[in-house]
Amino acid sequence: MARRLNKNKVKFLFFICSVILILTVTLLVNVGKRNDKEFQEWDKYIVIGKENTFVVYGEKLSIKIPFEISINKNETLGDIVNTKNYEEVVRRLNEILPEKVENFKVVKRKEVDVNTKHMKNIPEISMGDKRYVLTSSLNSMFLALYYEVTGGGEVQNAIVDILNANGRRGYARQAGEKLKDAFSVKYNSANYEAFEQYSYVMNKDLPEDKLKEMILELDEKYFRVKEEGSLPTLANVVFVLGKEQEGLLEIDVFGDSKGTGETVAKLKKIGYKNVEANKNSSKAEESLIEYNSEDYYTGYKLSQKLGIKNMVENKELKNKINIFIK
């Protein structure tokens, strides 16, 4: 009798365990389906995986970012992920990405599977033992694959505001005529509210490739980014043309003595100031320019003058641009 009771008890426990197992599997499957449904509903999102992060932009573009990528001099993406503060991970990635993302999902127990038209690794470059995002190539990737800008477009209907902040009479009009002749744009010229040492650019909705062409056409060298909305205007882009005489950012050139000397001499010859050769050898695997985000267009113009295609944003730089010659 006791043996029969024990046997029935075992059968009952087995039945209970089977029910629990079935319910657990069903729950996991439903959670997976719900997660997949969330992915399908989101237009843009970040997937934080076991070793990489994936940024997905609809069906157009997905970007793989390894945890080994350095976010700054002291932290990698993996360091931030390991804190499990995933909102901070998103915030820091948005400092790098040209197109911001809000939604995210953490997927640690399965392979991340994304299906987009273009699947790319984030462009990177090594400096010593660290890996940094190559922001110039990342911007170009977005222009071509996400915004699908192919270049060569016309901007005849664009309106450009040109504000004189250097005190030279008629200077804004002269600059406007130069842009009008080169790009067939309409322009408004006026005096700015104060004199400025730097020049500034505020881009509302002009295509990035055309903005860069205009910056190269203008004589100014030290363009800083001005936040949209700080100047009320209906123009597509606003240029504030400063004096560019003194108190400007430093330009440090790193590399061997011959390479740095030739670069410094070239920059001084075409009008750049505060240019110094640094005796420390370049740690970059290729020639590149480091810049702070507000000095992006200054760095871009330098890159075109020197024929250096690689640019890396460095948030720790202040009033300074580094040029590494390889």
| Residue 117 to residues 46, 56, 120, 123, Cα–Cα distance (Å) | 17, 11, 10, 18
Residues 6+ apart with CB under 8 A from 29: none
pLDDT digits (tens, 9 = 90+) for 180-238: 999 989 999 999 989 999 999 999 888 888 999 999 999 999 999 987 655 677 888 99
Q: Is the pLDDT confidence value at 155 over 50?
A: yes
Q: Answer yes or no: is pLDDT of 30 > 80.
A: no
Task: Please give the torsion angle defined by the CA atoms of residues 265, 212, 171 and 173, in that order, rounded to the nearest 10 degrees.
Answer: 160
Specify the 3-state DSSP secondary structure of 95: coil
| CATH fold group of domain 159-242 | Alpha-Beta Plaits (3.30.70)
User: What stretch(es) of the chain map to CATH 3.30.70.2390?
Assistant: 250-324
Higher pLDDT, 1 or 108: 108
pLDDT at 196: 94
Q: Is the pLDDT of residue 124 over 80?
A: yes
CA dihedral 173→179→185→188, nearest 10 degrees, is -20
pLDDT of residue 128: 80
Q: What are the φ and ψ backbone dihedral angles of 198, each rounded to 5 degrees?
A: -85, 160
Calculate mean pLDDT across residues 12-39. 57
Instruction: For residue 152, name the pLDDT band (cuts at 50, 70, 90).
Output: very low
Give the residue-averaged pLDDT of 295-324.
Answer: 94
> Residue ranges of the alpha helices (H) in 51-123?
77-82, 86-94
Q: Tell me if 198 sits within 8 A of 275, measured CB to CB.
A: no
pLDDT in tens, 245-289: 877 899 999 988 778 889 999 999 999 999 999 877 667 778 999
What pLDDT, in 10s, does the model give residues 126-140? 888 889 998 888 888
Portion of the chain with pLDDT greater than 90, in percent = 54
Residue 235: count of CB within 10 angstroms of its CB: 21
The strand pairing partners of 188, in sequence order, are 161
**pTM of this prediction?**
0.76
Q: Which CATH number fits domain 250-324: 2.115.10.20, 3.30.1330.20, 3.30.428.10, 3.30.70.2390?
A: 3.30.70.2390
Cα 54 to Cα 46, 67, 74, 187, 223: the distances in Å are 6, 11, 22, 42, 33
Q: What is the mean pLDDT of the chain?
A: 85
Q: Is the pLDDT of residue 168 over 80?
A: yes
pLDDT of the residue at 116: 86
